Amino acid sequence: MLRYLNQCSRGRGAWLLLALTALALELTALFFQHVMGLQPCVMCIYERCALFGVMGAGIVGAIAPKTPLRWAAIVIWLYSAIQGVRLSYEHTMIQLHPNPFVTCDFAARFPTWLPLDKWLPAVFVARGDCAAIDWSFLGWSMPQWMIVIFAAYLVVGLLVLIAQPFKAKRRDLFGR
């Protein structure tokens, strides 16, 4: 399996699949926001940023998967997945154990050199309440599902990282 993951990480298809899954999740979030009317909170916006990081890793990996750029993509992937798990867990704790002393910010804090909320307010402006559970599926809220999604990204990313030293076996017709 590790040889297979190594082989996949050296091709564009797996990296594009990573980017497309993250894009599908981003589009789903925008559907919830703009069609269903569920306003994202600050933690939701930060989780979106982590998801954009995973998508960015897929794009970086797809650019040149057989070069050392693949390592940069793996690092971006793992960092984004770790941050996504952390943020989703924190958001879940705010929802499950509401506390007037532990709340989220009123607006997302982006660096001055990257004011995403000014550039794309339809995507990065928070208007919701972090403690509110406006949507659930099978008894789990959205941040709980995001823990599962980011954990899956993290596990697969770690397996791809572990698989990097394993080269694919060369298959020769005559067994040399």
Q: Which residues are catalytic?
A: 41, 44, 48, 104, 130
C-alpha span between 132 and 67 (Å, rounded): 45
* CB-CB contact of 58 with 20 (8 Å): yes
Strand partners, 99: 102
* 18 CB-near residues (< 8 Å, 6+ apart): 54, 55, 57, 58, 61, 77
Of the candidates 147, 167, 135, the residue with the CA atom closest to the CA atom of residue 66: 167
